A and B are shown apart, each in its own frame.
Chain A
Amino acid sequence: MTASTETAQPSFAEQALRIREHILKMGASPHGAHIGGSLSCADVLLHLYTRVLDGRPQEPDWPNRDRFVLSKGHAAPALYAVLAETGYLPVEELETYTQPGSRLAGHPLSRVPGVEFPTGSLGHGLSLGTGVALAMRRLGRPARAFVLLGDGELQEGSVWEAAMAAAHYRLDNLVAIVDRNGLQITGSTEDCVALEPLADRWRSFGWSAVEIDGHDESVLEKTFAALPARTGKPTVIIARTVKGRGVALFEGKKKSHSVQLSPRLYQRAKKDLRSGRTT
């Protein structure tokens, strides 16, 4: 990076750090938060909202906007943080996360600006995205549908109902992103109900599958700039990520799934984050 000036945009790394700080703060709120899966998809979400999605924060219902569906709704803290940092939400509102009267529930509500569909029950998002993609084609709009799924979520059968239909209808305006952090509540996805060979499974369903490092800015840039990966096919981006990414205390740990951070733990996690240590 060149030397920053007062008007320079913050770097991706600086923005990503802020997103993670917000997530930890929500984790320190009275009800805690799904920290691990929020930290794992933070870079993907940040990249989507700052470089990929065509949208207008001041006009969230702009008809030609790209639609985003957070199918893994429990990563709401990451979404709220990104929405706040990109102008959809006041940053101060993050302080209200899960507090009585707040718009910011543990899983996203559609009355939050920038949230298209309320999610939280897994296995719904890809069908919603498929419907949106079909509608955009029918309406002749250039808008695309992006759906972020958890990897454990892929155990829901409805995901594969949607995957079959989207490929059948050749929806190349539909992009699924799998936050492949490898962990679900009880441990490794491969020990629970195995997902691998994951890319091959998507390909066998008729999708164009790309496997990437979901934390690498330049890889994200290159991948999302080249969509659709194949004309006439929906694309799935399997983003290999680390659960709890950025906080050594939580990285790769299943216990990071849902945590209420004590003041002591919160300080330690923040210190971890700033030190930039990753496993």
Chain B
Amino acid sequence: MPSLEWGAPTWPGAMAVAAFLVLVGGVVLVRAQGKGPADFAMPKAETSPGQSAKGKAAKAETPKNEDCLACHADKDLERGGKRGGSLFVDAQVLDGSRHAGLDCASCHTTATAPHDEKLPRVDCAGCHADKAEVLKTGVHGSPAAARAGDRATTCANCHGTHDVRDPKTLGTERCAACHQAQVGLYRESIHGKARARGDTEAATCTSCHGPAHTLQVKTDPQAPTYHLNLPRTCATCHGDPEIARRHNIEVGDVYKLYMDSIHGRAITRSGLLVAANCSDCHGAHDIKAKDQPTSRVFRTNVPATCGTCHAGVLREYRQSVHGQAVAAGSTIAPICIDCHSAHEIRRVEAEGWKLEIVRECGTCHKESLRTYRDTFHGKVTALGFTRVARCSDCHGAHDIYPTRDVRSTVNVANRVTTCAKCHPASNENFAKYDPHAEPENVDRSPLLHYTWKFMVWLLVGTFSFFGVHTVLWGVRSLVGRNGGRHAPPPAEGSDQEGQDA
């Protein structure tokens, strides 16, 4: 059984070492000696046929495919040494590939038939020089990637060898060869599943990361996945309301909304790396629809998701009556986004939001909103002014507790303090004011109720009597003018108001 030993450095090898030294200096000397010229991107000189021929003393002409296959058609042909591995070449695979019609020697330019020594790695740049140049600009062509051992980025690792395919047909499985964990998550994600269903619009690796040759790591400010660039990247699809419509995505205008939100502005205007971008809430490779229990934006997971940044608020919220209700499985108790919204989050000082939040509380606390609207505070906010107390001014925001809880700001024990936030002279008496007075309710405040009844009847009585009185008088006066029976005698020698005319 023929076997090829990986022996001492050969002439071309030694020359390549020399060339390498000239090129990159002594820093990588040891590595270069140990591994030989492995980089396909190396200058062509080191493996040029001319030099090879000089060293080999032209043992033979350029071999024909038949010459190569004489050995390599043997399915049992293996490489010797520690690494081993098959050296079998399936001619049919080559013929079915993108490179069909090319001779073996087109790529294996130094091959002779037969040959004992290991052939140098195929240099794709011999034909695809432009691609090789482009690759150097991305992380896959970086020195770090080249040093990644078995997972070093070579053309073949993505494109294959004899089975090289149309690049358009390369799928996520190629990326998975190195990025197994990420692709694993992706396949479970909404994008991955949509792709698997045959949705050609669903994002794949390159949709977000950019083309493989120029791909940048996310810490690179040029990368589409860089923290400040990501919203724009997601927007290539999610900025298009048409796409949202086609895919039944609820929030059609999500990109615009987000960009106007406090998070979006922090990203675009301030360049804040700590401001939430799309992936901070939705995840990156593991994005799932919000109705999936494992989704980061699944209802009960939202507080924890927001809490990754807003830890202090989360701690308060978890203790609160709303947080406890959610933890106990309530699906109606508010979570972060019910009050703050998801993509339209605004500063809590914004006037519009301060008024909307009152109505938001009222979507569940209908009675409280109604009775609030009946009092001075509620009337002023209804007009659109926020200088007076709103729900959260008395009840708190994230730290709302049941009224009977001593931690509650509206607990009897704390009311004077709570009122004093706006009314510094507040006292025990003052705190007996009912901010949710309900005149119609006799049980809540009898005195108020009867006062209300009295006032209503006073108004009804007065207007009824004088309403009738006025109508009768008006009719009678008109009739009288037209010469009614009891018309007053006409004023003598007078033309009413015309005295000064």
The yes or no verdict on A and B being binding partners is no
